[in-house]
């Protein structure tokens, strides 16, 4: 199951990919991580879904990552007496705490925290941004707005607030219940929706307590104001372009995508580019040229993973979508321009032993034209520092911890292997060489780099890099 690309693929499961047979087909087609969206999956269904993936993992003998995506707070309007109204541009429309069904002049907003946080000049977007209101006046439990972009609005449509920082946590009671269910089921990553501040991520990390890594979904403009703090506390980022495109001008989203991708890379943390990547493949067997270019742009930028949402969850061609995305990534990574772009983004290593070792390994790969870096790791931190350098070689992560291998399925260029820890330096080098041959990353006569930490079994103790020749004995033992 060796992949011929470094960029990983996250596939969302749903009605179109609900059976064990289809999930296995998606994995065989190229999915490295499966996303379970708790907006559409009940916590009662979650354990069975995870077990299907783990069964495929055992049969394939390759670690598979599982990302549980929390729904987050859903802000919605109340209801209208006639089910819907037509709001005209320039009209006055009031949002208030009155539960009486609304009309063309007003509507109940069942979120008092929004009414308290709104200020004159703030924008309110309704129904995925189709309608736009501007706040004119507020009085605690009532907001008077002017309709800037009108249209038809019906019961319980979504509300977005691009200018308002809400005094509410990113986790609802449903999210807390779903989070516990995800952790108990064995999720590797937890995605936090509608992050506005680093505290939103810290709250989830506290509950996780190391049982899963936490990914911040950047889908609100407010998060950009505190991006460095959010990156610092998170284990990874997701560029959730769908909601970003609702809450900010569409033309700004590509720049934000690049900013987020590079920020995560500088920190050595996985970054996933998501939403509408191959949207037309929900109903068509081939994507548009623009969609191919969109996926390619994320790969050229060095994103750790690209994600399929409705394409694999509810589309008519889920397997085709995964295989198409895989082919795009493979082609981009063969392009000579790819490596020039990747190297242009190289950052200065931090003054740590792990970064010094990673930088040295990267230089050795280039100087000796090597194909593989074998990294012994417990927590995965050594491997993530190596992949931050984006070496032009495969990074094979050797770890005694199955959960570490699964988490690293999200990381760029990493081929995770679960094996017992090394007993001494010679065992470390010998078994690394053996695995390089077995997994077809090297052959007799090749050289590989082995990275590890002494004493063995000590997390975060990376302090050794060794050049090893592949011999016939390694090949025979493989």
Q: Does some domain include residue 93?
A: yes
Q: Does some domain include residue 345?
A: no
Q: Does some domain include residue 156?
A: yes
Burial letters 112-123, b for 16+ CB under 10 A, else e: eebbebbeeebb
d(CA 95, CA 75) in angstroms, rounded, equals 13
Does 155 share its domain with 174? no
Does 314 share its domain with 463? no
Single out the catalytic residue among 5, 35, 62, 220: 35
Structure tokens at 252: 């700004």
What are the beta bridge partners of residue 137? 144
> Which CATH number do you get for residue 405?
3.40.1380.20
Whether 176 is catalytic: no
Single out the catalytic residue among 164, 275, 399, 468: 275
Q: Does some domain include residue 77?
A: no
Contact 181, 156 (CB under 8 A): no
Does 180 share its domain with 252? yes
Does 264 share its domain with 332? yes
Q: Does some domain include residue 344?
A: no
d(CA 391, CA 158) in angstroms, rounded, equals 44
Does 179 share its domain with 306? yes
Q: Which of 284, 310, 337 is the last residue of a domain?
A: 337
Helix-then-strand count for the chain, H and E? 18, 21
**Could you list the mean pLDDT of each consecutive 10-residue stretch along the chain, which spans 478 residues?**
92 97 98 96 96 97 97 92 96 96 96 92 93 95 96 94 84 95 98 95 96 96 95 98 91 96 94 97 97 98 97 98 98 95 84 85 93 94 91 95 98 97 92 95 95 79 89 90
What's the length of the chain? 478
- Report the half-sphere exposure of 457 (CA within 13 A, side-chain side): 5
Does 361 share its domain with 253? no
Whether 76 is catalytic: yes
Q: What is the pLDDT of residue 363?
A: 92
Q: Which domain holds residue 443?
A: 353-477
Single out the catalytic residue among 49, 62, 217, 265: 217
Q: Which of 160, 179, 207 is the last residue of a domain?
A: 160
First to last CA, the chain: 16
Q: Does some domain include residue 314?
A: yes
Q: Which of 286, 312, 337 is the last residue of a domain?
A: 337
Does 291 share its domain with 367? no
> Which CATH number do you get for residue 137?
2.40.33.10
d(CA 395, CA 21) in angstroms, rounded, equals 30
Does 194 share its domain with 331? yes
Q: Does some domain include residue 113?
A: yes
Whether 25 is catalytic: no
Does 325 share its domain with 357? no
Does 12 share its domain with 137? no
Q: With DSSP H G I counted as helix, E B as strand and the rest as coil, what are the percentages for the chain, rounded to 5? A: 40, 25, 35
Does 329 share its domain with 402? no
pTM: 0.93
Q: Does some domain include residue 452?
A: yes
Q: What is the pLDDT of residue 461?
A: 74
Single out the catalytic residue among 28, 74, 76, 346: 76
d(CA 243, CA 329) in angstroms, rounded, equals 25
Whether 289 is catalytic: no
- In 61-159, where does DSSP find H-type helix? 112-117
Structure tokens at 124: 């309110």
Taking phi first (over 0 means left), then psi (-120 to 50 degrees means alpha), and beta for anything else, what does residue 390 get?
left
Sheet order of strands, 394-399 included:
414-418, 394-399, 372-376, 447-453, 462-469
Does 379 share its domain with 415? yes
Q: How many domains does the chain have?
A: 3
Cβ-Cβ contacts under 8 Å for 453 (sequence gap 6 or more): 376, 382, 460, 461, 462, 463, 464
Q: What are phi and psi of 151, to 5 degrees?
A: 150, -175
> Which CATH number do you get for residue 23?
3.20.20.60
Average pLDDT in the chain: 94
Structure tokens at 293: 């270019």
């Amino acid at each position: 199951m060796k992949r011929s690309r470094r960029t990983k693929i996250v596939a969302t499961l749903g009605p179109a990919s609900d059976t064990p047979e289809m999930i296995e087909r998606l994995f065989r087609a190229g999915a490295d991580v499966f996303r379970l969206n708790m907006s559409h999956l009940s916590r009662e269904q979650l354990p069975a879904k995870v077990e299907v993936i783990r069964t495929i993992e055992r049969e394939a003998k390759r670690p598979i990552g599982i990302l549980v995506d929390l729904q987050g707070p859903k802000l919605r309007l109340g209801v209208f007496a006639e089910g819907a109204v037509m709001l005209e541009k320039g009209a006055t429309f009031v949002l208030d705490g009155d539960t009486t069904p609304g009309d063309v002049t007003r509507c109940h907003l069942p979120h008092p925290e929004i009414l308290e946080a709104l200020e004159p000049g703030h924008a309110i977007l309704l129904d995925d941004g189709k309608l736009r209101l501007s706040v004119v006046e507020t009085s605690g439990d009532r907001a008077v707005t002017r309709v800037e972009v009108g249209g038809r609005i019906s019961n319980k449509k979504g509300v977005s607030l691009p200018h308002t920082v809400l005094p509410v946590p990113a986790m609802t009671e449903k999210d807390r219940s779903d989070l516990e269910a995800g952790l108990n089921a064995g999720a590797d990553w937890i995605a936090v929706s509608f992050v506005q501040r680093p505290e939103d991520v810290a709250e989830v990390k506290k509950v996780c307590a190391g049982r899963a890594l936490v990914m911040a979904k950047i889908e609100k403009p407010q998060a950009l104001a505190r991006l460095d703090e959010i990156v610092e506390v998170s284990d990874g980022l997701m560029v959730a372009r769908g909601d970003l495109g609702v809450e900010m001008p569409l033309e700004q989203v590509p720049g934000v995508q690049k900013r987020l991708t590079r920020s995560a890379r500088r920190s050595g943390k996985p970054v996933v580019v998501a939403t509408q990547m191959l949207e037309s493949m929900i109903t068509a067997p081939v994507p548009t040229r623009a969609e191919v270019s969109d996926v390619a742009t994320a790969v050229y930028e060095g994103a750790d993973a690209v994600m399929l949402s409705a394409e694999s969850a509810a589309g008519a061609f889920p397997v085709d979508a995964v295989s198409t995305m895989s082919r795009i990534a493979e082609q981009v990574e063969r392009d000579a321009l790819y490596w020039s772009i990747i190297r242009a983004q190289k950052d200065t290593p931090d003054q740590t032993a792990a970064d010094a070792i990673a930088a040295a390994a990267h230089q050795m790969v280039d100087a000796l034209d090597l194909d593989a870096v074998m990294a012994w790791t417990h927590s995965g931190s050594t491997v993530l520092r190596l992949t931050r350098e984006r070496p032009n070689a495969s990074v094979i992560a050797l770890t005694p911890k199955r959960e570490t291998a699964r988490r690293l399925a999200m990381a760029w260029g990493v081929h995770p292997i679960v094996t017992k820890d090394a007993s001494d330096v010679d065992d470390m080098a010998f078994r690394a060489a053996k695995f390089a041959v077995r997994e077809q990353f090297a052959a007799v006569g090749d050289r590989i780099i082995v990275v590890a930490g002494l004493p063995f079994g000590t997390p975060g103790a990376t302090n050794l890099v060794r050049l090893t020749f592949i011999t016939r004995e390694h090949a025979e033992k493989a």
